[in-house]
């Protein structure tokens, strides 16, 4: 009896959850479907079954040189993440293993820099970038993305490193391990999962950053965020092509995102919710 009720209950909840989930996912699903339509099909009214043509995918490369902004996105997001890790790993390490009275204040202060509205420094940043010749350059934008994500990287790494038991370090020291050996053979293997998670989340954040990547680029360094924004002009209204470009732009990050749900919660709540 009880089992019968619970199966029925499960069925009801399943149907409800699937309906809500499909409604939420619908805009993405419809974008993917439209990307396999021809331009005339795309504006011919609601239709969930595309003809399956790949012409839009060919067209975004032929007409708009899609590969270039795509590569820019890859270079910027991966480059800025690696750079941020190089700067942040020593900092997070030192705060996790040699905390001082000021460690908490420093962490809070780093977090506060993240709360600065980007728009408040738009013009000075523009001036600095122009005078250093960094406008529309991959290097300039990589540095920019590194700095805006650095606080999150330090925080995330800190919460991971703090979970490594310090007794293990002491044991290694007792056994006569040098600091260098301690880092290479004891700490690194335990820190790798945390570093990998941090990397994943930050590639996602950098890939989707849509203020500086639009405002500080023109053509050479423009990543996908800027490229897709250019479709907002009236002459850019080709829906099948927009859909193909959008699908390619979100696919890699969507797949990475699915694998990083847990890290996402942790990273974006600064360890407050795990």
Residues sharing a CB contact under 8 Å with residue 151, sequence separation 6 or more, in sequence order: 110, 111, 113, 114
Identified binder of other proteins from the candidate list 5, 120, 174, 218, rule CB under 8 A? 120
User: Which among 155, 142, 140, 143 is positioned nearest to 270, based on CA atoms?
Assistant: 155
Find the part of the chain contacting other proteins (CB under 8 A) among 53-61, 64-72, 186-194, 248-256. 248-256
Q: What DSSP state is assigned to residue 118? A: G
Which one, 13 or 67, has the nearer CB to other proteins? 13
CA distances from 120 to 124, 131, 141, 211, 269 (A): 9, 19, 18, 12, 24
- How many residues bind other proteins (CB under 8 A)? The answer is 96
Query: How far, in Å, CA of 184 to CA of 249, rounded?
Result: 37
User: Which among 156, 190, 189, 187 is positioned nearest to 170, based on CA atoms?
Assistant: 187
113 binds other proteins (CB under 8 A): yes
Site for other proteins in 41-80 (CB under 8 A): 42-43, 45-46
Task: Output the smallest distance, CB 179 to other proteins, in A.
Answer: 7
130 binds other proteins (CB under 8 A): no
SS3 state of residue 233: coil
Stretch 82-101: interaction string toward other proteins, x if CB under 8 A: -----xx-xx-xxx-xx-x-
Site for other proteins in 135-194 (CB under 8 A): 147, 150-151, 154, 179
Stretch 201-230: interaction string toward other proteins, x if CB under 8 A: ---x--xx-xx--xx--------xx--xx-
């Amino acid at each position: 009896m009880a089992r019968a009720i619970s199966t029925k209950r499960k069925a009801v909840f399943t149907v409800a959850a699937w309906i809500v989930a499909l409604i939420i996912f619908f805009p993405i699903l419809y974008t993917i479907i439209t990307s396999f339509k021809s331009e005339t099909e795309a504006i011919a009214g609601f239709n969930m079954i595309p003809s399956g043509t790949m012409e839009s995918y060919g067209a975004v490369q032929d007409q708009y040189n899609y590969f270039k902004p795509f590569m820019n996105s890859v270079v910027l997001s991966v480059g800025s993440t690696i750079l941020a890790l190089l700067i942040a790993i020593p900092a997070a390490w030192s705060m996790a293993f040699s905390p001082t009275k000021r460690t908490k204040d420093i962490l809070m202060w780093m977090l506060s820099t993240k709360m600065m509205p980007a728009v408040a420094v738009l013009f000075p940043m523009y001036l600095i970038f122009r005078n250093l010749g960094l406008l529309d350059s991959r290097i300039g934008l990589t540095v920019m993305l590194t700095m805006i994500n650095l606080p999150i990287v330090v925080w995330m790494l800190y919460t991971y490193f703090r979970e490594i038991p310090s007794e293990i370090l002491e044991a290694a020291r007792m056994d006569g391990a040098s600091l260098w050996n301690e880092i290479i053979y004891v700490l690194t293997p335990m820190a790798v999962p945390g570093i990998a998670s941090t990397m994943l989340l930050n590639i996602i954040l950098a890939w989707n950053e849509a203020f500086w990547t639009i405002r500080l680029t023109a053509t050479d360094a423009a990543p996908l965020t800027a490229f897709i924004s250019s479709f907002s002009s009236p002459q850019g209204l080709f829906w099948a092509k927009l859909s193909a470009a959008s699908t390619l732009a979100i696919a890699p990050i969507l797949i990475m995102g699915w694998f990083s749900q847990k890290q996402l919660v942790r990273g974006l709540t600064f360890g407050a919710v795990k």
